[in-house]
Amino acid sequence: MTATHLGSSPAATSLGELTFDLGEDEVRRRATSQLDRAQQSLEALVSAAGPRTVANFLDPLNVLLTDVRDVGSHGSLLFSVHTDPATRTAGREASEASDRFFHAFRLNREAYSALRELDLSSEDAPARFAVEKMLREMRRAGVELDPSTRERLLRLNEAIDLTGNRFSENIANQERSIELASSDELAGLPKDFLAAHPPDGSGKVRITTRYPDFQPVMTYADRADVRRRLLHEFANRAYPENLPVLAELLARRNEVAKLLGYPNYAAFAGEDKMVRSPEEVRAFLERLAGLLRAPARRDLETFVERKRRDHPDATSVEPWEAQFFGPGYYDQKIRSEQFGVDMRRLRSYLPYGRVRDGLFGLCHELFGLDFTRANASGWHPSVEVYDVTRGGVLLGRVYFDLIPREGKYTHAACFIVREGLEGVRLPQAALICNFLTAGTPPETTRIEYPQVITFFHEFGHLVHALLSGQQRWLYNGQGNLEWDFIEAPSQLFEEWARAPETLARFAVDPETGERVPDELLSRLKASASLGRALSWLRQVGLSAVSLDLYSGDPAGWDLSAMARSAHDRYSPTPLPSEYHFEAAFGHLNGYASFYYTYAWSVVIARDLLSPFFEDGGLTSTAVAARYAKEILSAGSERPAAELIRAYLGREFRFDAFEQWVTEPAHLPPAA
């Protein structure tokens, strides 16, 4: 199937010519000229005489705003992936300039009046819903307020963007580390980790708080003191520098909420989500905690029992002994000793090339999508570029950037590269992850199993972006979906990496051609629920932190004490007083008060899986087709609750999540 086939409409929708190989001056010049052009078009549109119509006002406004959104997307992509630091800075500035444009647009009285005057009586429901969302966004920005308040809001929002960026940058840039007297202190770690961390001239080894160091050490290091020291540094990243930055961010957002007539920022932010108010979020968290406390206690008892083999008097586990901020030592021990799950053995069946092709195969079978290598380059020679077609029709383009390098974004995320608009242009999106290693052949490089799950998760966002990127209106795309629903499709995708029947399809050792043994898959399945309730209860605690900190004016608050108290309200193990994780809790910027999104989305995601299980399993093509149509392709053309109802044929329920999260690990009888 050719990858360059374009849509059949005469005004062929195109990918557009995107260039990533740009210097800082060129990035600035392009962003400035695109935003200036958009500003002039906007002024011409709002000042035009005569009646407003969809054709003479809404259509051009839609394209103009999409172009502005693209300036921001392109800028933030360059900021996250470009090899030249100066270009990264220029990318960040372009993204901030695009945000400033939107802040000003939302407060533009003329545009607001023009939108309200539009006659939409002959338009379809998605068009009316798009305009309704634009008007709501403008009202929520304060467009109806007096000029001096609008001016104050504009300045505040610009300041919030800058403060938020400073908060995130402090987390990204401030690496902390511990120094070990010798490699002996790393007993228990895999050989490749030791090889990558050779001692310096005096025999010492430095271990940083970056994830590629932190995760293996917390999981495998036999020396508890090494884990304790590293976790102490990790839990104090960006501390104390970020505390005043956080206080400023909270204060400014609180002021915005007050000016707009809300009691606090959490109340403001809740209004356009599925969960409407902070009270509803609190009730949700309480309900979840009620489900999770007993199974989480069971998880903890299992960890303490295992610890007693090493320390017969143990009555509890410390944060550096069991999962706290991620992986845990005893967690891993129990999986390998009692369940016989050897993660290193599992890893040998997970070469990147096979995993990726397995994912493509599933997407073909379930959603009819075909991924073909594109004759195009990305922003780095290692970036893979694919064109995506369905039934021979080009849907968009995707980029995979999977190898870490200096200055690159260090987590895993799906970035929008270009917004799609039906009949005008096709969506493009990128997976920015870091699970491959520079200098090794990617096709045969093995991926850790948790990273395979992350890969599937981010791929879920990517497929959602592609399918929802065929909407006519920018405001009906993925980017305008209720924020507490956007994680559901990606969490659902994870299940294809977890379920033995789908995992078995692509988990093959490339050297021997051997498929992953059934026995290893069933051990993995039996151990899967170990620690699950505990980790979701921690998510409830973190959600409470994000909600509490945005519940009022932070003047005079002790942010660390508040964060600790919210965390300890739910966590079965208290947060040590010398930890200041709130200084590096990056979501307090991007997600503000709605960190509960992850927990809320997973409850929905578990329920969205139910029709698959009722129809024979995860590869039911009938259910997949309904899912693609009612959820993925629908973008945000209707409220999320309606999309869910259309797909499930009912309201969503807690049952599937409750069953999943309370199912005990099937611990085999002691040997």
Helix, strand and coil percent figures for the chain, each rounded to 5: 60, 5, 35
Contact between 466 and 427 (Cβ < 8 Å):
yes
| Beta pairing partners, 416 | 429
| Token digits of residue 362 | 């599933």
In angstroms, what is the minimal distance from the CB of 260 to Zn ion? 29
Give DSSP secondary structure letters for 652-671.
--SHHHHHHHHPPP-PPPP-
Give least dist CB 540 to Zn ion, A: 18
Please identify the residue of the shown chain whose CB is closest to the bound Zn ion: 490
For residues 193 and 211, which CB has a smaller minimum distance to Zn ion in the complex? Answer: 211
Q: Which is nearer to Zn ion, 330 or 627 (CB)?
A: 627
Short-list 591, 344, 619, 414, CA closest to 504: 619
Handedness of CA 362, 366, 372, 376 (dihedral sign): negative
d(CA 234, CA 412): 19
Part in contact with Zn ion (CB under 5 A); list of ranges 89-97, 170-178, 343-351, 483-491:
483-491
Region from 62-70, 110-118, 490-498, 582-590 binding Zn ion, contact rule CB under 5 A: 490-498
Calpha distance 547→353 (Å, rounded): 41
Bond before 240 cis per omega within 30 degrees: yes
Residue 18 or 413 having the CB closest to Zn ion:
413
CB of 463 to Zn ion, least distance (A): 12
- Please report how close the Cβ of residue 595 comes to Zn ion at its closest, in angstroms: 13
Say how far apart CA 584 and CA 167 lie, in whole Å. 8
Nearer to Zn ion, 239 or 536 (CB): 536
Binding segment for Zn ion (CB under 5 A), chosen from 103-111, 482-490, 536-544, 644-652, is: 482-490
Choose the binding region for Zn ion from 154-162, 222-230, 319-327, 489-497 (rule: CB under 5 A).
Answer: 489-497
| Residue (129 or 435) nearer to Zn ion, CB | 435
Closest to Zn ion by CB, 395 or 431:
431
Task: Could you list the beta-strand ranges (E) of 32-154.
Answer: none
Span of 155-163, 202-210, 481-489, 566-574 interacting with Zn ion by CB under 5 A: 481-489
Instruction: Please state the closest distance from residue 487 (CB atom) to Zn ion, in A.
Output: 5
| Closest CB 490 distance from Zn ion, rounded Å | 4
Q: Is 478 in the site for Zn ion (CB under 5 A)?
A: no
Q: Please identify which residue in the block is written with the tokens 């557009």.
A: 16
Q: In terms of Cα–Cα distance, which of 584, 585, 587 is closest to 237?
A: 584
The CA angle 424-425-427, to the nearest 5 degrees, is: 145
Cβ-based nearer residue to Zn ion, 101 or 596: 596
Q: What is the DSSP letter of 446?
A: B
Beta-carbon contacts of 76 under 8 Å, excluding residues fewer than 6 positions away, are 91, 92, 95, 415
Residue ranges in 257-286 that form contacts with Zn ion under rule CB under 5 A: none
Total of chain residues touching Zn ion, rule CB under 5 A: 2
Closest to Zn ion by CB, 394 vs 431, is 431
Q: Please, what's the largest Cα pairwise distance for the chain?
A: 84
Nearer CB in complex with Zn ion: 99/487: 487
Burial 654-668 (b: 16+ CB within 10 A, else e): bebbbebbbeebeee
Alpha-helical (H) ranges within 443-586 are: 449-468, 487-498, 500-506, 518-527, 532-549, 559-570
Pick 134 or 274: Cβ nearer Zn ion: 274
- Cβ neighbours, 10 Å, residue 498: 16
Identify which range of 2-10, 54-62, 378-386, 479-487 contacts Zn ion by CB under 5 A. 479-487
Cβ burial of 588 (10 Å; 0-12, 13-18, 19+) is buried
Cβ atoms within 10 Å of 369's Cβ, excluding its own: 19
Interacting residue with Zn ion among 478, 480, 490, 502 (CB under 5 A) = 490
Q: Quote the CA–CA distance of 472 and 427 in Å, as a whole number.
A: 12
Instruction: Please say whether the beta carbons of 653 and 607 come within 8 A.
Output: yes
Q: Which residue from 499, 327, 351, 535 is spatially nearest to 435, judged by alpha carbons?
A: 351
Choose the stretch contacting Zn ion; rule: CB under 5 A; options: 45-53, 163-171, 484-492, 519-527: 484-492
Q: How far is the CB of 479 from Zn ion (least distance, A)?
A: 14
With CB under 5 A as the contact rule, which of the stretches 144-152, 156-164, 298-306, 488-496 interacts with Zn ion? 488-496
Which range of residues in 98-106, 140-148, 226-234, 487-495 is near Zn ion by CB under 5 A? 487-495
Q: In the complex, what is the shortest distance from the CB of residue 302 to Zn ion, in angstroms, rounded to a whole number?
A: 29
Q: How far is the CB of 480 from Zn ion (least distance, A)?
A: 17
- CB nearer to Zn ion: give 142 or 635: 635
Q: SS3 sequence, 133-195?
A: HHHHHHHHHCCCCCHHHHHHHHHHHHHHHHHHHHHHHHHHHCCCEEEECCHHHHCCCCHHHHH
Closer residue to Zn ion, CB minimum distance, 490 or 546: 490
Q: How far is the CB of 414 from Zn ion (least distance, A)?
A: 7
* CA geometry: angle 122, 128, 133, nearest 5 deg: 165
Window 433-472: contact mask with Zn ion (x via CB under 5 A): ----------------------------------------
Choice between 451 and 490, CB closer to Zn ion: 490
Q: What's the closest the beta carbon of residue 461 comes to Zn ion, in angstroms?
A: 6
Nearer to Zn ion, 483 or 570 (CB): 483
Q: Which stretch binds Zn ion (CB under 5 A): 100-108, 196-204, 307-315, 486-494?
A: 486-494
Q: How far is the CB of 488 from Zn ion (least distance, A)?
A: 10
CB atoms within 10 A of CB 270: 24
User: Closer CB to Zn ion, residue 468 or residue 490?
Assistant: 490
The site for Zn ion (CB under 5 A) is made up of 487, 490
